[in-house]
Structure 1
Amino acid sequence: MQINDVVTAVAIKLHDTFGENYTIYTESIEQGFQEPAFFIALLEPNLKQVIGNRYHKTIPFDIHYFGTGNMDAHITADKLMCDMEYIQCLNGDLLRGTKMKANLIDNVMHFFVNYNMHVYKEKEAIPMMEELTIQSHVKGEDA
């Protein structure tokens, strides 16, 4: 699963939760945007080998919420804590959000969430030899 698949799933979940009246940005925010709005910021994704070809992938987000004040931000944080626990990707995979937390900085509410998954990397196929001919000669025998 690609990072953009998860970004799309987050955007769809935000749209389903909050509706048409909220603008959702996944690229840089232009000046003069309309509130209320969300900006989905990818933090530092990481991939750690577990064993063999198995890896654990973490995709962390900071979802910025631009609203109409502190009370609005608090209500939105509560709603995000509940509704962003599970997101469904377009391929049907269900991802669970972990390490959720929110804080308010300079009138922008930041909601942090990680989406984790296990990844299996296929090994590159090594071409097999087509034919092998072995000739042997034992000392003392006539060939």
Structure 2
Amino acid sequence: MEDVKNGILKYLSTFRTGVPVYDERIEQGFKEPCFFVLLINGSQDRELGRRYMRVGNYDIHYFPDPDNPEKRRECEAVADRLYEELEYIQWEGSLYRAIGLKHQIVDDVLHFFLDINVHLMKPKGPEIKMRTLKQEAGIHG
């Protein structure tokens, strides 16, 4: 899930020039406007054989410009753009599709939620080889 978060952070760093992007913890005295990316929770389910599905739920916070009298409108504009541009997240040659995109604005802070499903294939373990084989044959009747 670290690759997905790095892809989100990379995208947000180019989203708006000069807007800082924070990862997991916000420093005291941070400058607004800014983004903050938080992995809310993650899970993994076994599918078939060596196949697994790992799910990550992310919350992207956007703190608008404190001097803007229309903070809610700024948050709505950022949300609209995130809906358009965060459907696919790319990181180091891998492409991840976001699902379950939704947002809400609480106390003039945008919370943009998205889920990422990642299919995994665990490597095969060492195979146990047969050492000897004893075979007998016979004819009946």
Using structure 1 for the length normalisation, give the TM-score.
Answer: 0.83
1:127 CA displacement: 4.3
Asked if 1 retains the 8 angstrom alpha-carbon contact of 2:62 and 2:111, the reply is yes
CA distance in 1 between counterparts of 2:24 and 2:54 reads 22
CA distance in 1 between counterparts of 2:125 and 2:40 reads 30
| Aligned residue-pair number | 130
CA distance in 2 between counterparts of 1:44 and 1:35 reads 26
**Alignment correspondent of 2:14:** 16
Structure-to-structure mapping, 1:21-60, within 5 angstroms? 21-60=18-57
CA distance in 2 between counterparts of 1:51 and 1:118 reads 11
CA-atom RMSD in angstroms: 1.7
How many percent identity over aligned positions? 34
Gaps spanning 5+ residues in structure 2: where?
66-70, 135-141
Q: In the alignment, residue 72 of structure 2 is paired with which amino acid?
A: N
- Who wins on radius of gyration, i.e. which is larger? 1
Using structure 2 for the length normalisation, give the TM-score.
Answer: 0.84
Choose the corresponding residue for 2:3, options 2, 5, 8.
5
**Alignment correspondent of 1:83:** 85
- 1:82-102: CA deviations, max 9, x gaps? 111111111x01111110000
- 1:109-139: CA deviations, max 9, x gaps? 100011112111113213435x4487xxxxx
**Alignment correspondent of 2:73:** 71
Q: Does residue 108 of the first structure (1) align with residue 106 of the second (2)?
A: no
Q: In the alignment, residue 29 of structure 2 is paired with which amino acid?
A: G
1:80 CA displacement: 0.7
Structure 1 moving runs of 4+ over 6 Å: none
Structure-to-structure mapping, 1:93-104, within 5 angstroms? 93-104=94-105
SS at the partner of 1:29?
coil
Stretch moving more, 6-15 or 119-128: 119-128
Asked if 1 retains the 8 angstrom alpha-carbon contact of 2:24 and 2:39, the reply is no
CA distance in 2 between counterparts of 1:128 and 1:106 reads 64
Asked if 2 retains the 8 angstrom alpha-carbon contact of 1:60 and 1:113, the reply is yes
- 1:36-82: CA deviations, max 9, x gaps? 11110001111111211111111110001100311110100101111
**Alignment correspondent of 1:128:** 129
